[in-house]
Amino acid sequence: MLECAYWPRVMDRKLLKILHTSDVHIGSDTYPREALEGLEKVLSMADSLAVDALLIAGDLFDRATVPNKTVQYVFSSLSSLKCPVVVLPGNHDTLLTSDSFEQASGQSGVNVIRDPAGEMLTFKGLTLSVWGRPVYQHVPSFHPIGQLPARPDKGWYIAIGHGIVLDSSSFEDRGSPISHEELAKADCDYIALGHTHVFRDVTKGKASAFYSGAPSGGQEKTVALVNLDPANGVTTQRLRVS
């Protein structure tokens, strides 16, 4: 069988649609109701598009003092989807250490990445693996995708991270940096990023790398629809949240 170095093998991978979002900031003092409405709109889009998975690349919550009933509502809503959900805690998600977060995150179908060293999730029915590291310390020494493990033997491989891509030397003292070199050498199919609230293509190598933008806040509200096609590779679309 003729293969390209980075296109998937048809026998190993299914045709998938992935919805990628980030930076919902539920519990924000600035736009509390809008943040919840943004999440609800994302879930509605996931249903209408019949996606195979939803990825939330950090800052689902804005702070640690979100009421328990709100946390329960959020995770109950996420678990109502017909597809698996992956939640990566970002620099605002200090809620990840609280009892309410732990209890709520046990909802069926909702997968919260919590291992400080990074965690690999495997969805065999989707021929999909997702790896990420939560932001326990938002400091320059923490590199969200710097320790990306080797590609699994089979299936699609997505890295999920929350941090800032270092576009200039002025960013070198920023927390959770992502270098161009890390993006270029990443041996995966797609890199789902959060922290920057604007949809943006930051691809530097074979792996497509995008910020999804955010579904709430003052900027244009967007998500990313990622198509994983065994025949044609990876394509990413910006979708407006309205």
Looking at residue 168, its pLDDT comes to 66
Query: Can you tell me the distance from the alpha carbon of 2 to that of 161, in angstroms, rounded to the nearest whole number?
Result: 32
Per-domain residue ranges for the chain? 15-240
Q: What DSSP line would sit under 132-183, residue for residue?
A: E---SS-STT--TTTTPPPPPSSSEEEEEEESEE--SGGGTTSSSEE-HHHH
Q: Residue 140's closest CA among 196, 101, 91? A: 91
Looking at residue 1, its pLDDT comes to 33
- Structure tokens, 135: 């932001």
Looking at residue 100, its pLDDT comes to 54
What stretches in the chain show pLDDT beneath 70? 1-11, 94-107, 168-171
Amino acid identity of residue 11, one-letter, is M
Adjacent-strand bridge partners of 112: 87
| 151 in Cβ contact with 207 (< 8 Å) | no
Looking at residue 72, its pLDDT comes to 87
Helix, strand, coil shares of the chain as percentages rounded to 5? 25, 30, 50
Looking at residue 4, its pLDDT comes to 39
Looking at residue 31, its pLDDT comes to 87
Looking at residue 55, its pLDDT comes to 98
Adjacent-strand bridge partners of 199: 212
CATH 3.90.180.10 fits 15-240, yes or no: no
Give the CA distances from residue 12 to residues 8, 125, 149, 153, in Å, rounded to whole numbers and listed in that order. 7, 11, 19, 9
